[in-house]
Amino acid sequence: MATWRDGPEYAPTERPAAFVIPPVPPLEVPPSAAVAVIADAPAAGEPGFTAPSDPQPDLAALVPTGAPGRNPNVPFEVSVAAVTAGGWSTTSGDAVRPPTEPFTAPGPPLTGYLPVQPAIQPNAQVNPAPFPAPNTPQWFAPPPESRVPAPPPLVTITQIWHATTPGVIIPLLIGMVFSYLSILMLAISFALSARIPYRRAAVRRSYYIALGLIGLNGLGAMLGNVYSSSALFDALSQGAQLACIVLPFVLGLVVGAALRAGERPDRTG
């Protein structure tokens, strides 16, 4: 029990008048960790021995023999056969089957136990055809095609329309209808033809040919008659209108051929 002597936290505010012993008994004192003393050993004396009553084997018989063991390089001698069918390997003097000879005794028939399986034909040739002899016509001939080439994909007018771009075709259609606007519409279509992503060299070549024919038509009009600006404009307009009629079909054929061939869009310019 803590008292005022254990520290200030246990001190009462006033000094007690007397200290009373508590009514509980004191705690037991734990035993000290002393080294246990071993009891004295019994006095040394002669041990007792009683002979066994049962007969014991001779010690000489318990000594292991020194005779050589079995040679592992020599095969075992067969004295009794596991199978006596087929006229071999018995202890009555019959011939013993050599270990390298297969079992020739026929077994039970299997007809009626297992169903007959149909012959399975392979889907492909197991062994390929032999190579032709060297220096023969077959030796230099190309190998035969093993697969039928797939037909070219179908190309619709909608695909050609989007691949040629409406900005190229619409000015040509306007120039096809209005002759006095054909030169301007042909120039606009030629400028927008750079947006066609397929076979750009062939597309530009088509426009160059059309422009060359228009120039020859205007030159012929100037050489055939007296120079007149109205006659030159009419000749150029007629040539441009004819080019506006022909170019949509030419561009459609060029782009359609590229689509059927599966060509990728040309991004090099």
Residue 182 belongs to domain spanning: 157-260
- Report CA 200 to chain centroid distance, whole Å: 39
- Per-residue model confidence as pLDDT tens digits over 64-109: 777 777 778 888 776 655 554 444 444 545 556 677 776 665 555 5
The burial class, CB within 10 Å (0-12 / 13-18 / 19+), for 173 is middle
- The span from the CA of 251 to the CA of 263, in Å, is 16
Low-confidence ranges of the chain (pLDDT < 70): 1, 4, 11-13, 33-38, 41-42, 44, 78-97, 102-129, 143-152, 225-227, 267-269
In this structure, how many other beta carbons lie within 10 angstroms of the beta carbon of residue 90?
13
Which is nearest to 168 in space by CA: 219, 129, 125, 210? 210
Please report whether residue 235 resides in a domain: yes
- The span from the CA of 166 to the CA of 168, in Å, is 5
Which is nearest to 169 in space by CA: 240, 260, 236, 244? 244
- Are 161 and 169 contacting, i.e. CB atoms less than 8 angstroms apart? yes
Please report whether residue 198 resides in a domain: yes
pLDDT of residue 89: 44
**Any idea what DSSP says for residue 68?**
-
Plot region of 190 (φ>0 → left; ψ -120 to 50 → alpha; else → beta): alpha
Please report whether residue 200 resides in a domain: yes
- Are 257 and 231 contacting, i.e. CB atoms less than 8 angstroms apart? no
Q: Which residues is 111 bridged to in the sheet?
A: 114
Q: Count of domains in the chain?
A: 1
Written as six digits, the tokens of 219 are: 């030159």
pLDDT of residue 85: 45
Q: Which residues is 226 bridged to in the sheet?
A: none
- The span from the CA of 247 to the CA of 152, in Å, is 25
- Three-state DSSP state, 120: coil
Please report whether residue 234 resides in a domain: yes
- Residue in this structure with the two tokens 């016509």, named with its chain if needed: 137
- Distances in Å between the Cα of 174 and the Cα atoms of 5, 152, 179, 204 are 120, 33, 9, 20
**Any idea what DSSP says for residue 99?**
T
pLDDT of residue 122: 53
CA dihedral 240, 243, 248, 251 (to 10 degrees): -120
- The span from the CA of 222 to the CA of 224, in Å, is 6
- Three-state DSSP state, 230: helix
Please report whether residue 203 resides in a domain: yes
DSSP string, 3-47: -GGG-GGG--SS--S-----SSPPPPPPPP-PPPPPPPPPPP-PP
Please report whether residue 219 resides in a domain: yes
- Three-state DSSP state, 114: strand
